[in-house]
Amino acid sequence: MSGAFDFEHEGDPTLDLTGRYGYFLQDYLEIGGFVELAGDFDDTFRYGLGGFAEYHFPQWAFLKAPRAMPYLGADLELAFLDTDIGDDNAALIFRPRVGVKWFVTEYFAIDTSFFVAVATDDLFPNDRNDLDPYDLGLRLGLRVYFK
């Protein structure tokens, strides 16, 4: 479960929640799916489904406790926007990410990542009265790992 701080958004506070479930295909390579809900629930509401991949770099891990492991990831999402600002849209979103997972225990981590999102249509309310096809932000989340 994670949420985002949006660097581009102006206006009312928004909610941006993502739930993910993944599986490690091989050591350090995780793939999975996610559901996202975002918006201020007044002027805009975006929802979508997608897939993700992440590659972890344990050889670059730093700190001992909590252990910090860098990773690269990318999301591909089919998103739908219901808005009062412009037209309701549906689009594909590509979101590359770079981040660090701070392992508090062997199976619990705090996830921080910087992302850039690019959509095939105007989905992101970066200005008060306008939608854009791009977004920038910082995502903060919790990860739980099962054996």
- Confidence band, pLDDT 50/70/90 cuts, at residue 125: confident
Q: Can you tell me whether residue 106 is helix, strand or coil? A: coil
For residues 33 and 127, the model is more confident at: 33
Overall domain count for the chain: 1
Binning the chain into helix, strand and coil, the percentages to the nearest 5 are 0, 70, 25
Identify the CATH number of the domain in which residue 11 sits.
2.40.160.20
Other CB atoms within 10 Å distance of the CB of residue 7: 12
For 69, how many CA atoms within 13 A lie in the half-sphere containing its CB? 19
Report, as an integer, the average pLDDT of 125-132.
77
Q: How far is it, in rounded angstroms, from Cα 110 to Cα 64?
A: 15
Domain range holding 25? 2-144
For residue 10, the model assigns a pLDDT of 61
Q: pLDDT tens for residues 15-68? A: 888 999 999 999 999 999 999 998 877 778 899 999 999 999 988 888 777 789
pLDDT over 60 at 8, yes or no = no
Report, as an integer, the average pLDDT of 119-132.
83
